[in-house]
């Protein structure tokens, strides 16, 4: 049984350039996630794709049955890889993700995808609350610029503001190169 699972969260077309809800650096994020996915497949890790779908056709993005809600081809699942459908930021909320991980004997999760300030944060915190060890791969996660109280917050600041507390209390936060180097040893 695999002790580690790679969780790819919401790497969906609407987050890419030209999509309905563009996320900063999404092409780079997906390329790094694809590197993690290639390694996970070669090392027989459990791979789970999480896909978000809005509850309404009127939603601003991830509308049901639209190309924007589909997983991007960069990390397209194989026929043997699970795809968990969610409707909230937390990938465990009203899904079978927890059962899948426990049934497989998973202890450690490697988490990547989008958006850092929503689904990555919510799913990572929930994972740790359920007793999993979590690693978040920072350059394989993407944030979106936002505003609050009249203050515009660039994506890079949002990314840092969410990854810093995760690194402090919830997860090991590393880069793709660090993840692949630690997974394959010093000769990689």
CA atoms within 13 A on the CB side of 152: 1
User: Would you state the pLDDT for residue 2?
Assistant: 63
For 108-150, how does the pLDDT look when each residue is reduced to its tens digit (9 = 90+)?
Answer: 999 999 999 999 999 999 999 999 999 999 999 999 999 999 9
CA atoms of 168 and 91, how far apart (whole Å): 21
Helix, strand, or coil (residue 71): strand
Calculate what percentage of the chain has a pLDDT beyond 90. Answer: 94
The predicted model gives 5-25 an average pLDDT of: 98
User: Would you state the pLDDT for residue 4?
Assistant: 95
Which residues, 6 or more positions from 181, have their beta carbon under 8 angstroms from its beta carbon?
188
pTM of the predicted model as reported, rounded to 2 decimal places: 0.95
93: which 2 tokens?
Answer: 């909320």
Q: Which domains does the chain have, with CATH numbers?
A: 4-181 (3.40.50.850)
User: Would you state the pLDDT for residue 182?
Assistant: 84
User: Would you state the pLDDT for residue 185?
Assistant: 47
For 81-94, how does the pLDDT look when each residue is reduced to its tens digit (9 = 90+)?
Answer: 999 999 999 999 99
Report residue 186's pLDDT band, with 50, 70 and 90 as the boundaries. Answer: very low
User: Would you state the pLDDT for residue 19?
Assistant: 98
119 is catalytic: yes
The predicted model gives 166-180 an average pLDDT of: 97
Is the separation of the CB atoms in 98 and 140 below 8 Å? no
Neighbouring C-beta atoms of residue 153, cutoff 10 Å: 16
**Catalytic hit among 46, 114, 119, 174:** 119
For 42-77, how does the pLDDT look when each residue is reduced to its tens digit (9 = 90+)?
Answer: 999 999 999 999 999 999 999 999 999 999 999 999
User: Would you state the pLDDT for residue 29?
Assistant: 98
User: Would you state the pLDDT for residue 1?
Assistant: 52
Which residues, 6 or more positions from 172, have their beta carbon under 8 angstroms from its beta carbon?
133, 134, 135, 136
């Amino acid at each position: 049984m695999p002790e580690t699972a790679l969780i790819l969260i919401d790497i969906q077309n609407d987050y890419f350039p030209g999509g309905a809800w563009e996320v900063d650096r999404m092409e780079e994020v997906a390329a790094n996630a694809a590197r993690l996915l290639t390694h996970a497949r070669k090392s027989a890790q459990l791979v789970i794709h999480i896909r978000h779908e809005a509850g309404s056709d009127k939603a601003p993005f991830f509308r049901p049955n639209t190309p924007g809600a589909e997983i991007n081809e960069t990390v397209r699942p194989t026929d043997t890889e699970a795809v968990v459908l969610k409707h909230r930021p937390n990938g465990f909320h009203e899904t079978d993700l927890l059962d899948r991980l426990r049934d497989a004997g998973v202890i450690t999760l490697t988490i990547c995808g989008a958006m850092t300030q929503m689904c990555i944060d919510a799913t990572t915190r929930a994972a740790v609350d359920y007793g999993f060890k979590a690693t978040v791969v920072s350059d394989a996660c993407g944030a979106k610029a936002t505003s609050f109280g009249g203050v515009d917050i660039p994506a890079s600041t949002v990314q840092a503001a969410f990854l810093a507390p995760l690194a402090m209390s919830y997860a090991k936060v590393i880069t793709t190169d660090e993840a692949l180097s630690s997974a394959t040893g010093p000769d990689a």
